Structure formats: C-alpha cells, structure tokens
Amino acid sequence: MIRYTLSLIALVLLAVIIQQFIPALTPLFGSRLMLVLLVFLCASSTVPAPVMLILAFVCGFLHDAENALGPHGGDPEVYNPGVEQLRFGYSIVLYGLMGYLMQGIQPLFRQGKWQFSAILSGIAVFLYLLSEFLLINFVRGDFTFSRSTFFKITFTSSLTMLFSPLVFWLLFRMAEWSHYTIRFDGLKKQNRRATAF
C-alpha cells in the first residue's frame, strides 16, 4: 500500500509538470486537458478515503501554489481578469469533495467495472470547474455565466474524460508493480479455481 501511495504521489508530480506543456484548444472555446485533476480522480477510485484525502491535499496545494506564486491574480489564461480575493486552500476542499464523489462508486470499480468511474470522472471534472467558476463569481460579487463559459467547461470535462482509460491502464500497471489489489474480481476467479481443485 505504501509503495502504491508513493507512486501515486510521484504520478501527480509528473502530471503537474506535463500539465504545463498542454496547450489550450482555442477552437473548443479554450478548453484544455485537466491532467492533474484526472490523475487524482482516477486514483481516488483505487484507494481508501485517508489516502484520497492525502492526494487531495497534495493536488490542491500544488494547484493553489501554482496560481498564487504565478502572475498576480493567478494564471491570466485561466483567470481573466485576475482574481485577487480567492484564498489559498480552496482547491484542496474542491479536490476532496470530488474525491468523495469518486469514492461513492468504488465498489463497482473494485468489481472491474472501471467504465462507470471513467464516466464519473468527466462528471466530476464538470462539477469541479463549475464549482470553481461559481466560487469566483461569488467572490467577485456578480454572476455572469456566458454560453462560451458553459462550452469551455463542457469541452474541458469531455476531453479530460476521454483520457481516463489511459490513466486507469497506468494505475493498473502501477498496482501490479507495487503488489496492491485494485480489483476483487480477479481474487474471486482465483478462489473459484482453488476450490475446484
């Protein structure tokens, strides 16, 4: 378990680095692949709640640190105009809430039905971005929800969801390497073979 948890943290750090080189897709309303959030959501399906909360803290801390230590008011591509009032740590809470959402269908995932978790990861990305947008509007004191903002959130969540099978495949390989059990269906088949002999 410890080896798998450490490899997940290393994967999150690698995703943070790769995220810096992923451009926004201008034809799709500036949507982008949210790789760090995707890695966190997929990993949340494979670990117990305490480990998920550790990952939520790491991912949220890195997200907030990147935006707080970057240009004043956050990344101008993400926050236009800059947001000065958002407090450090709000992403940790949002990551934790989305992690608990993914944990809700963990029994299905452990039965080998990862497709439900893949679909839920897209829904969780949508809810995360919508919550962040609503929080920014609340802090600014006004509410403007344009059509382009809706499409940007929708395309970002859809694009991110398309890459979830690749992340799940990577997590399965990491679990094999670290001797961590993600799925229980394989154990049931082994038990049936053992009782047959």
Domain at 188, CATH number: 1.10.1760
Neighbouring C-beta atoms of residue 166, cutoff 10 Å: 11
- This prediction has a pTM of 0.81
3-state secondary structure of 125: helix
Tens-binned pLDDT, residue by residue, of the chain (197 aa)? 889 999 999 999 999 999 989 888 888 888 899 999 999 999 999 999 999 999 999 999 998 888 765 555 555 555 555 555 567 788 999 999 999 999 988 888 888 888 898 999 999 999 999 998 988 888 777 788 889 999 999 999 999 999 999 999 999 999 999 988 886 554 444 444 444 44
Q: How far apart are CA 105 and CA 120, in angstroms?
A: 9
Distances (CA, A) of 36 to 44, 69, 114, 181: 12, 18, 19, 23
| Domain range enclosing 75 | 2-196
Reported in sequence order, the residue ranges of 57-178 that DSSP labels E, i.e. its strands, are none
Reported in sequence order, the residue ranges of the chain that DSSP labels E, i.e. its strands, are none
- Could you report how far apart the first and last alpha carbons of the chain are, in Å? 31
Structure tokens at 118: 């893949």
**Number of structural domains the chain divides into:** 1
